Amino acid sequence: MSGFVCPVCGLPLDRTEKSYTCAGNHCYDISKSGYVNLLLSQKGGNHGDDKIMVKARRDFLEKGYYNALRDKITDTVKKYASDGAVILDAGCGECFYTSHFYEELVREGIKAEVLALDISKNALAAAKSRSKGIEKAVASIFHMPVADSSCDIIVNVFAPFCREEFLRVLKPGGIYIQTIPLEEHLFELKEIVYDNPYKNQVEPYRIDGFELAKSSELRRKVVLQTTDDIKALFMMTPYYYRTSEKDFAKLDSVDSLKVSTEFAVLAFKKK
């Protein structure tokens, strides 16, 4: 049995080596890269992050710049996970964080079921070599192929937020783990690209329907070693979409940069 449900009729999905099927005879093939496409409205198009963005993020993360964040997310997942837990990474990208907490849970003998979804086929294709034990699906956070009250933990690392969906799929008392950037995050990078860079405005740690269970803040300077790393980091941010080619090109002449990274990893408990 899969942790995902049929996106057409909502019935449970049975997983075999090659496909997923529901009792209503809807069938979804598992791709060569090991994910299943449960996105109904895709119509052949590509959604979410494109190949260039995915590659930039993957290369950047593999260099270890964000390992401290990765470890903090894993620690937070481990704090709340126990045998039998169902854990969903919503907007998992290339499963950089997902595979780390999955492997750590396996190492510690905690038998959890880990599901990962992302709207980008490119991201999931790039997750191919990551932990085979993770069930990966192309799907939208705004309409997740996941049953009501079926998840113990949702992890969201810089992916879109959909309160209603997260509340729907979490069990009562379930945990929503969110990573957010703090005030000075990447400020030195913004100073290069923008004439008038702003610090991030950090909202109070509150979400309706949840109570804050734990918050950890992580502030450290990271020295980016190459122009490619600097550009890759910028491409990982939401600013990238809103920046002109001319401003982005300002990064071409920078070959190393000390930059502030500041995150909060928040755990909210569903009321």
Residues near ligand SAM (CB under 6 A) are 48-49, 57, 91-93, 96-97, 118-120, 123, 140-142, 157-160, 236
Q: Is position 15 an interface residue for Zn ion (rule: CB under 5 A)?
A: no
Q: Which token pair is 128? A: 């191919």
**Minimum CB separation from ligand SAM for residue 64, in Å?**
14
Q: Is position 8 an interface residue for Zn ion (rule: CB under 5 A)?
A: yes
**Minimum CB separation from Zn ion for residue 111, in Å?**
28
**Minimum CB separation from Zn ion for residue 19, in Å?**
13
**Minimum CB separation from ligand SAM for residue 90, in Å?**
7
**Minimum CB separation from ligand SAM for residue 14, in Å?**
24
Give the integer Cα–Cα distance in Å for 87 and 81: 8
**Minimum CB separation from ligand SAM for residue 48, in Å?**
3
Phi and psi based region of residue 148 (left: phi greater than 0; alpha: psi -120 to 50; beta: remaining): beta
Beta bridge partners of 263: 181, 218
DSSP 140: B
Among 141, 143, 148, which residue's Cα sits nearest to residue 123?
141
Nearer to Zn ion, 6 or 69 (CB): 6
Nearer to ligand SAM, 85 or 159 (CB): 159
- 135-146 burial, b at 16+ Cβ within 10 Å, e below that, comes to bbbbbbbeebbb
Which range binds Zn ion by CB under 5 A, 15-23, 37-45, 125-133, 241-249?
Answer: 15-23
Please choose which of ligand SAM, Zn ion, none residue 268 contacts, taking the beta carbon within 5 to 8 angstroms, the exact cut-off set by kind: none
Please choose which of ligand SAM, Zn ion, none residue 8 contacts, taking the beta carbon within 5 to 8 angstroms, the exact cut-off set by kind: Zn ion
Q: Nearest residue by C-beta to Zn ion?
A: 6
Please choose which of ligand SAM, Zn ion, none residue 174 contacts, taking the beta carbon within 5 to 8 angstroms, the exact cut-off set by kind: none
Task: Give me the amino acid identity at 243.
Answer: T
Phi first, then psi, for residue 239 (nearest 5°) are -65, -30
Please choose which of ligand SAM, Zn ion, none residue 222 contacts, taking the beta carbon within 5 to 8 angstroms, the exact cut-off set by kind: none
Please choose which of Zn ion, ligand SAM, none residue 9 contacts, taking the beta carbon within 5 to 8 angstroms, the exact cut-off set by kind: Zn ion
**Minimum CB separation from ligand SAM for residue 192, in Å?**
20
Among 258, 229, 222, 178, which residue's Cα sits nearest to residue 58?
229
Q: Which token pair is 155? A: 């992890």
Among 140, 161, 165, 121, which residue's Cα sits nearest to residue 39?
140
Please choose which of ligand SAM, Zn ion, none residue 116 contacts, taking the beta carbon within 5 to 8 angstroms, the exact cut-off set by kind: none
Q: Is position 22 an interface residue for Zn ion (rule: CB under 5 A)?
A: yes
Residue carrying the six token digits 């704090």 = 79
Strands, E assignment, the chain: 14-15, 19-21, 27-29, 35-37, 86-90, 113-118, 135-138, 151-157, 170-181, 210-224, 257-270
* The only residue of 15, 21, 26, 188 in contact with Zn ion, by rule CB under 5 A: 26
Per CB under 5 A, residues contacting Zn ion are 6, 8-9, 11, 22, 24, 26
